[in-house]
Amino acid sequence: MRAVAQRVRQASVEVDGQTVGSIEAGLLVYLGVAKDDTESDAGALAVKISGLRVFPDEEGVMNLSVQQAGGGVLVVSAFTTQGDARRGRRPSYEAAAPPEQAEPLYRAFCEQLARQGVRVERGRFQAAMKVSSINQGPVCILLDSKKLF
């Protein structure tokens, strides 16, 4: 399972002209599920993201987690995080899980994140989404449940 976590001042997701998820300060997480991912990957990545210390403390040092900073997390399903562009110019998405496997793990990730005490908002799985965000920093962190990077 892979994620791109961006620290944001605000973020929202729109589907068919309706806002389906939004947060003020917090993390915008683009989440991609791989074919070999399990609920264990979802849990491990949720713990990692909930504890990720990328928010400034009173001295301006990135030392606080999203929960400590009082922020929320907007999770957007993005199979493209599983893209492999090492060869050629067209990314391969062979590693991405099919929707029937990915959706339950996307939901499990969101539920595990909420169990960590974080307020979670979501995009809509497999929808054409318009994602808006104002990055803070910018701070963008790449995460992989298999610790490939």
CA distance 127 to 111: 20
Determine, yes or no, domain membership for 77.
yes
> What residues does 135 pair with on adjacent strands?
8
Determine, yes or no, domain membership for 121.
yes
pTM higher than 0.85, yes or no?
yes
Determine, yes or no, domain membership for 149.
no
Q: Which domain CATH number covers 102?
A: 3.50.80.10
**What's the token pair of residue 106?**
């996307």
CA distance 27 to 22: 11
pLDDT at res. 149? 82
pLDDT at res. 39? 97
Q: State the Rg of the chain over Cα.
A: 15
Domain count, the chain: 1
**Domain extent at residue 67:** 2-144
pLDDT at res. 66? 98
Distant-in-sequence, close-in-space partners of 107: CB < 8 Å, separation ≥ 6 = none
pLDDT at res. 148? 86
pLDDT at res. 2? 98
Positions of the chain with pLDDT lower than 50, given as ranges: none
